[in-house]
Amino acid sequence: MPAANLASASQTLYDLTLTRVFDAPRELVYEAFSNPEHARHWIGPRGFTATHFEQDARPGGKWRACLLQTGDWNGGNYSDLWQGGVFKEILPPERVVYTFAWEGRGGQPTRETLITITFAALDDDKTRMDFHQAFFDSIGQRDGHNQGWSSSFDRLNDYVNENLQQLRGKN
């Protein structure tokens, strides 16, 4: 199995940890993740498109996205899914920490979770990404985020592979 297809998930009751290996250098994976011009193309699970995406990737900077369902997602039908948060720590190209909250009715955020992502360079020009999100109110919320992030990271992997030359031009 190619390294880019390896994924693992381990969870405690109220947090989520995912590890992915991408077949691209760390700087390029970080660029695809942190640059809004790239991130808007892969953010959200398969079956969703970002109709709005903005991020100011610096400590104190905000991010906000709206996902529109364009295909099947677990048999459900979802209206626009607004989400956002604040960046707490940025250490290019190795670490990003930010908050995540869904926007509820009237634009009011739900309870925040904290996301920590590290990008590690591997010897063979690959990148290991460790993702941690905590804490959820229920196992169902955790498992829903596991499905969503896993699908999003599949899209990130596809995006990096399809745009490797363009990403190399930015570095």
pLDDT one-digit tens code per residue, 109-139:
788 999 999 999 999 999 999 999 999 989 9
Q: What tokens were used for 135?
A: 């804490």
Q: Which domain holds residue 26?
A: 3-170
What's the whole-number mean pLDDT along residues 37-44?
95
What pLDDT digit, counting tens, does each position of 42-100 carry?
Answer: 999 999 999 999 999 999 999 999 999 987 766 667 778 999 999 999 999 999 999 99
Q: What is the pTM of this model?
A: 0.86
**Residue 155 belongs to domain with CATH number:** 3.30.530.20
**157 to 7, 29, 106, 145: CA distances (angstroms):** 11, 8, 34, 18
Give the pLDDT score at 79.
77
* Number of separate domains in the chain: 1
Largest separation between any pair of C-alpha atoms in the chain: 48
